[in-house]
Amino acid sequence: MNFKQFIVQELDVKSIYHLLISGISPRPIALVGSLDKNRISNLAPFSFFNAFGANPPIIGFSPAISGRTGLPKDTLLNIKDTKEFTVSIVNSNIVEQISLSSCEFDRNIDEFIKTGLTKYKSKNISAYGVKESNFIMECKLYDIIELGGKPASGNLILGEVLRFHINEEILTDTNQIDPYKLDPIARNGGSWYTNAKKGLFELKKPQNIGIGFDQLPDYILNSCLTGNQLAKLASVEFIPSFKDNNEYAINSKDELLKLIKNKIDNNCIDEAWQLILYLGNF
Ligand SMILES: Cc1cc2nc3c(=O)[nH]c(=O)nc-3n(C[C@H](O)[C@H](O)[C@H](O)COP(=O)(O)O)c2cc1C
């Protein structure tokens, strides 16, 4: 067997990043909740994440300095200010919402509103967890280790877990976590993710900043669409205009909704939006 070697000094940062995220995978995903000084909530996913000790219980994750803008991420700024955060573990029911939460929304935007995820009140700290997660940790800041201070450099945030909140439905009679019910999603390289139960799948990151759940029409927000389906609709940069030359041989709203779900599941988001706009005039 031959190994191809890649010498770090001869690689650009992007290539190093891709080697790291493709080789060190699948990585668990921390959905980190924090508050800024004005108590505006922030939510963002981080897969440079793990646990590092149980006594005291220390977890760590690493928001990088943006390789594109050279600026620190809101999560880092918030935790430097408030010294606390929550980590909610990501499951398959919310993975599209998590992807939407990774859009670079302005600092004064509350990503709970943009992603439709529900705030779960903490007991020891002020930052919120995510109610749709099965496993939430309240953490106080233990340390921040700057790992370079340059674009794409990490900032290892270590937190001490003060309290675990675990959905009772995923616990066995002896308070063990049922791994099937935890249903964790992990991150691989490129646009690959791992569903612990089903294996690898691809999920493309939104190209731009998505409109968010707050811009979805009420009749679709309150329909039978799932959070993941709504998140795909909310990931578009703007709502397309209705092409009223579309002809649909559809007799009922239920039939139309079924077709919309089908289009979303097959990633035909433009077509889904046309059907939604048609539904609005039905
Ligand atoms: C699944 C997933 C994992 C991510 N992991 C990281 C990570 O470990 N470190 C990082 O800096 N950015 C990571 N990102 C990108 C951030 O979530 C993204 O930059 C986000 O906008 C940061 O938000 P903030 O500025 O509100 O903190 C990840 C994105 C996704 C979708």
Q: Domain spans of the chain?
A: 8-202, 213-280
pTM > 0.75: yes
Residue 139 and residue 159 in contact, taking contact as beta carbons nearer than 8 Å: yes
> What region does 256 belong to: left with phi over 0, alpha with psi -120 to 50, or beta?
alpha
Tell me the per-residue pLDDT of 40-94, one tens digit each, with 9 for 90 and over.
Answer: 999 999 999 999 999 999 999 999 999 989 999 999 999 999 999 999 999 999 9
Query: What is the best residue among 46, 65, 104, 105 to mutate for testing ligand 1's pocket, by most ligand atoms within 8 Å of CB?
Result: 46
pLDDT confidence of residue 205? 87
pLDDT confidence of residue 251? 79
Which run of H or of E encompasses 160?
Answer: strand 154-166
- The mean predicted confidence, pLDDT, of the chain is 96
Q: Domain spanning 8-202 has what CATH number?
A: 2.30.110.10
Residue 47 and residue 60 in contact, taking contact as beta carbons nearer than 8 Å: no
Tokens of 97: 């919402």
Tokens of 119: 């705030």
Tokens of 130: 């995510």
pLDDT confidence of residue 244? 73
Taking residues 158-178, report their average pLDDT.
98
Kindly indicate the confidence band of residue 282, based on its pLDDT and cuts at 50, 70 and 90: confident
Report how far ligand 1's centroid is from the alpha carbon of 215 (Å): 23
Distance between CA atoms of residues 94 and 231, nearest Å: 9
**Sequence-separated (6 or more) residues with CB below 8 Å from residue 117:** 43, 94, 97, 101, 111, 130, 131, 132, 227
Q: Is 114 in the pocket of ligand 1 (CB under 6 A)?
A: no
The residue with tokens 């990490």 is 154
Q: Is 30 in the pocket of ligand 1 (CB under 6 A)?
A: no
- Residue whose C-alpha is closest to residue 111's, from 263, 231, 219, 251: 231
Ligand 1 atom closest to the CA of 187, numbered from 1: 1
pLDDT confidence of residue 13? 97
Tell me the per-residue pLDDT of 215-256, one tens digit each, with 9 for 90 and over.
Answer: 999 999 999 999 999 999 999 999 999 887 767 778 788 999
